[in-house]
Amino acid sequence: MLSRREFLGALPLALSAQPLRRPNILFILTDDQTIHDMSCYGNRILNTPHMDRIAREGARFNNCFVTNSLCAPSRASILTGCYSHIHGIRGNSEAADAVEKMTPGIVTYPELLRNAGYRTAMIGKWHLSHDPVGFDHWCILPGQGVYFDPEFIENGVRKKFKGYATDLTTDFALDFLKTATAEKDKPFLMVYQHKAPHRPFTPATRHAHMFDDVEVPYPKTFNDNYQSRKVAEESRDMQFDLSIAGDYKDIPAGLGAAEKRSGCISAS
C-alpha cells in the first residue's frame, strides 16, 4: 500500500500520462430575474423546468450577495472578478460616450480562455460602453435593446432582425454551438445573455395571455414605505411604481400613489 507521501509524489506522473480534457463552458445570464421567479426556489405559478434541472444537477445558492447590483457594474464584475472601484464601472453606462469605462489593463476571463486556446463567443445583451473583448465571435444588443424586431451588432456590424429578442438570442447561440461542437479541435466558451425579463415587460405574442386566468399575489413589499431604507426612499430606480411608470404610456395620468402602484402592476 502506498503511503500518503508516496501517493502525492506519484500523482504528477499519473496525471501527465493522460492529457487533461478541457471542459466546454456555457455561461447563461438572464436580466433582472430574481430567485422568486423560478420554480426551483418555490414559485408556484411560474414553471421553469430547465432552470430547475440546472439547480438540481449543479449547485444552487441560497445565500449569495453582490456589492453593486446595477446591470453594467455586475456584468463588469462577472467578466473581471473585480469590485466596481477596481474595474471602473460604478453605474449603468451602455452609451458609447459614457463617462465610466473599464479600467485600462483589466483582464477578463474570456481573454484568458481565448489565449489558452478556447473558441469564444458572446451572444445577447452586453450593456457595457465598449465592444466585447476576448471573443472570436460576438453578436450583441445595442444598449438595452428592444424585444420586437431588434437590432444586433455582429462583430461590429449593426443588423436588424425580424422576430422576438429571446428567440433570436437563442437561435444565434444555437448556431454557434452547432459550429463549436462540430469542430472538436478546441474547447469553447459561450457567454449567453438574455435581455428578458428586464422591463418593459413585453412578452412574445404567443405568451401575451398565458396568465390571464391566474391571480398573481402582490409581493410582500408592495406597500413598503421605505422608512427603514433611506436610500431606496430617495431613489426613483429603487421604487418600482415610480421607475416603471414611464414604460407604459397607457397608464392614466393623475393617479394617486396607491392607484399608480396598482396600475403599474397591472400594466406589467
Q: Which three cell numbers stand for residue 148?
A: 420586437
Distance from C-alpha of 21 to C-alpha of 8, rounded to nearest angstrom: 21
In the residue annotation, 71 being an active-site residue is answered as yes
In the residue annotation, 40 being an active-site residue is answered as no
* Residue in 64, 85, 87, 127 annotated catalytic: 127
* Residue in 40, 50, 64, 71 annotated catalytic: 71
Q: Are strands 137-141 and 151-154 parallel, antiparallel or unpaired?
A: antiparallel
Q: Specify the residue for cell string 394617486.
A: 256
Residues 55-80 as b/e (b if ≥16 CB within 10 A, e otherwise) read beeeeeeeeeeeebebbbbbbbbbbb
Residue 239 φ/ψ, nearest 5 degrees: -110, 110
Q: Are 170 and 3 in contact (CB under 8 A)?
A: no
Give the residue from 213, 216, 192 showing the smallest Cα distance to 46.
216
Residues 6+ apart with CB under 8 A from 32: 71, 197, 198, 199
Return the active site residues: 71, 127
